[in-house]
Amino acid sequence: MAKQSVPTSAIPMNPLVFIRKYDELWSRLLFLMGALVVYRLGSHIPVPGINPVSLAELFSRNENTILSMFNMFSGGALERMSIMALGIMPYISASIIVQMMSAVMPSLEALKKEGESGRRKLNKYTRQGTLFLASIQAIFMCTGLISQNLTLSSGLTFYIPAVSSLVAGAMFLMWLGEQITERGVGNGISMLIFASIVASVPSMLGQSFEMVKNDPQSLIVLLVFAVLGIAVTAGIVFIERAQRRIPVNYAQKQQLGRKIYADQQSHLPLKINMAGVIPAIFASALLMFPASLGQWVGNSADPSAWQQFLQTMSLVLAPGQPLYLALFGAMIVFFCYFYTALVFSPREVAENLKRSGAYIPGIRPGLQTQRYLDHVLNRLTFIGAIYMTVICLMPMLLQSSFGIPFHLGGTSLLIMVVVVMDFISQLQAHLMTHQYHDQTLIK
């Protein structure tokens, strides 16, 4: 009697049931967990020459300010002034610059079309830019530490080991993120940012419980925030999975003598938020640099005119301030359109459809298809930009209004939800690949 294969519908889709069954997927998950453990251990290694008592006093004086938000994105590394205090932001900033330059420089744009070799060259430029930006930020950070009397020494005896440690930590995080992408599950950079945010959640919960203990009436506000957070999470999942499906037909083809096959129908899926979480990260990274510069360099006992300007800039660009909210919203909208234009080209899609004999019903192939796709994409991007702006700014406005003592804003929530969704989708893709391979062997 022939062995019957188990139908796909009868196979339970719970990933935990199959994780241990497939060694390759299990090794990827172990590598991901090991890399995150290494990252968290590295965030506790201090930079040489830092006075921990003075550093703790600085953060106690600047509680619930912009430093708290920076500290959250670094997973507490900034508060401990560890070798990973710069975080992954130099790499993100270098990626912004390289992608912008590739959109305006023909030589870099040509590299994008060269396939794997071009991608390697662009990655090389991104790594070099990361090294340069990390060095500049490390020098400014060390200068700010000295001006705040947070160091045990000054001069080259502090600059050389401190700058080297900070730059090495930033480059190690870049390498670790690439290794997670290649040998783990999920996007490595996103997983590191996710781990940093999650690591700050316990302290935020502790602050919330302390606030409720001191003021029992604040429990109602926290419950409202919890319900709002669940509703926002559901909205993020709904929008991130939403698609506009454009019907696509393929021309008839005559095969096998006189037999003519009917039109093959398919669709072109366009996501409402095609840029993902990148605009929020890019906007936060660009706003973080001038504000952190003013926070670390501008403060001194006898500030100069330049330092006074930096002090004013750090106060004006603090989260919750009107200028910060306006710039943050405008930059999110800009990066939504900019990054969508980078990842999706209506001209190339129209050319590919025309080359493969496909067409959109009621639309002529070629230039009219390009205009139609561009029109649809602009409307979808507008909806996605408004959605992301509301998600990122609404919790910030509510926090400043009700005085909630932690900074788990819309950007952090958006990053966590999108990263978890991407991780689950990649995990399911690995499981489906293994299941298909097993069924092929049975047949």
Measure the CA–CA gap between 404 and 207, rounded to whole angstroms. 9
Question: Would you state the torsion angle of the CA atoms of residues 215, 216, 217, 223, taken in this order, to the nearest 10 degrees?
Answer: 120
Determine, yes or no, domain membership for 404. Answer: yes
116 inside domain = yes
How far is Cα 90 from Cα 174, in angstroms, rounded to an integer?
A: 9
In a domain, 3, yes or no: no
User: What's the CATH number where 342 sits?
Assistant: 1.10.3370.10
Predicted pLDDT at 302: 63
377-402 average pLDDT score = 84
User: Residue 131's pLDDT band (boundaries 50, 70, 90)?
Assistant: very high
CA-nearest of 280, 266, 314 to 190 is 280
pLDDT value, residue 61: 66
At residue 109, the 3 state secondary structure works out as helix
Q: What is the tens place of the pLDDT at every residue in 227-251?
A: 888 888 888 889 888 888 998 887 7
* 87 in any annotated domain: yes
pLDDT of residue 8: 43
In a domain, 367, yes or no: yes
136 pLDDT band, cuts 50/70/90, is very high
- pLDDT in the model for residue 3: 42
Q: What is the pLDDT of residue 17?
A: 55
User: 365-383: per-residue pLDDT in tens?
Assistant: 888 999 999 999 999 999 9
Compute the average pLDDT of residues 411-421: 84
Closest C-alpha among 280, 281, 284, 289 to residue 314? 289
1 domain residue, yes or no = no
Burial class (CB in 10 A: 0-12, 13-18, 19+), 418: buried
| 95-107 tens-digit pLDDT | 878 887 887 788 8
Q: How far apart, in whole angstroms, are the C-alpha atoms of residue 386 and residue 235?
A: 13
Mean pLDDT of the chain: 79
* Distance separating alpha carbons of residues 322 and 364, to the nearest angstrom: 47
H helices present in 274-407, as ranges: 278-297, 305-316, 322-343, 346-355, 367-402
Q: What angle do CA 184, 190, 191 make, to 5 degrees?
A: 50
Number of domains in the chain: 1
Q: List, in sequence order, every residue forming a beta bridge with 151; answer none if it has no partner.
A: 50
Domain that holds residue 414: 9-442
- Is the per-residue pLDDT at 56 higher than 60? yes
What per-residue string of b and e applies to 83-117 under the rule 16 or more CB within 10 Å gives b?
A: bbbbbbbbbbbbbbebbeebeeeeebeebeeeeee
pLDDT digits (tens, 9 = 90+) for 306-324: 767 766 776 777 667 788 8
Tell me: pLDDT of 24 over 90.
no
- The pLDDT value given to residue 149: 83
pLDDT of 322: 82
Residues, the chain: 443
